[in-house]
Structure 1
Amino acid sequence: MREADETTRQRLADALRAEPATPSELAVQFELTPETIVRHLEHVSRSVEGGDEQFLVAPPTCRECGFDDFDELLNRPSRCPDCKSEAVDEPAFTIE
C-alpha cells in the first residue's frame, strides 16, 4: 500500500512498530498536535487488541520524585499528583 493511501492511524501504528515514541515526537513527525495524536492512539490501541501484537505504554514519570502511577496512561499529565512538579516525562508508546 502506498503511503498516501494509508490512514493517519495506520501510519501511526507503522511508526510505533518501528520504534517507541512520545506524543510530542509523533506530533512533529505527523504534523499534528500532541492532543490529536493521543486521540488517534486510543483508536490504534483498540485496533491492536486481540491480535498477535501488543500496544505497550511506558507510563509518564515525574523527574522530581519518580512517581509513575498515573491513572490515564495515554494522557499527557501537566504535573505530578504526588509532588506537584511540572517536570513530568511523557508516556512512550510502541507496538510489538
Structure 2
Amino acid sequence: MHESSATTRERIAARLREGPATPSALAREFAITTASALSHVEHVSRSVERADGERLLVSPPECRECGFSGFDDPLNVPSRCPSCKAESVEEPAFLIE
C-alpha cells in the first residue's frame, strides 16, 4: 500500500509492526494528539485480533516511584499512581507481533 493513500490507523499499525511505541511518540510521529493516538491504537487492536496470527502487545503503564503496574486500563496514560500518588508514571508501549 502506498504511504500517502494509507489511513492514519493503517500507518500506526504499520509503525507498531516495526517496533514498540508509546502514545506520545505516535502522537509526535503522526501529528495527532495523544488521546487520538490512544483511540487509534484501540481500533487497531480490534483489527489485528481479526487478522491471522497477529496480536497487539501492551507493556502497561508503570510508576517510576513504586513500580505499580496494575492500572485498570492499559490503553490509557494515567496522570498519577493510585498506589503512591506519584505523578511520574511511564506511558504504556504498544507493539504488533
Q: Normalization by structure 1: what TM-score? A: 0.98
Structure 2 unaligned blocks of 5 or more: none
Corresponding residue for residue 68 of structure 1: 69
1:49 correspondence with 2:43: no
Mean alpha-carbon deviation: is it higher for 84-93 or for 45-54? 45-54
Secondary structure at the aligned position of 2:50 is classed as coil
1:80 correspondence with 2:81: yes
Corresponding residue for residue 12 of structure 1: 12
CA-based RMSD: 0.6
Q: Distance in 1 between matches of 2:24 and 2:50?
A: 27
- Stretches of 4+ aligned residues off by more than 4 angstroms: none
Q: Distance in 2 between matches of 1:54 and 1:45?
A: 7
2:20 maps to a residue whose letter is: P
Q: Distance in 2 between matches of 1:56 and 1:76?
A: 16
How far is 1:50 from its partner?
3.5
User: Taking every aligned residue pair, what percent have the same amino acid on both sides?
Assistant: 59
Secondary structure at the aligned position of 2:95 is classed as strand
Q: Deviations over 1:40-67 (max 9, x none)?
A: 1110000001331010000000000000
Secondary structure at the aligned position of 1:56 is classed as strand
Q: Distance in 2 between matches of 1:38 and 1:13?
A: 12
Number of equivalences = 96
Q: Distance in 1 between matches of 2:43 and 2:27?
A: 16
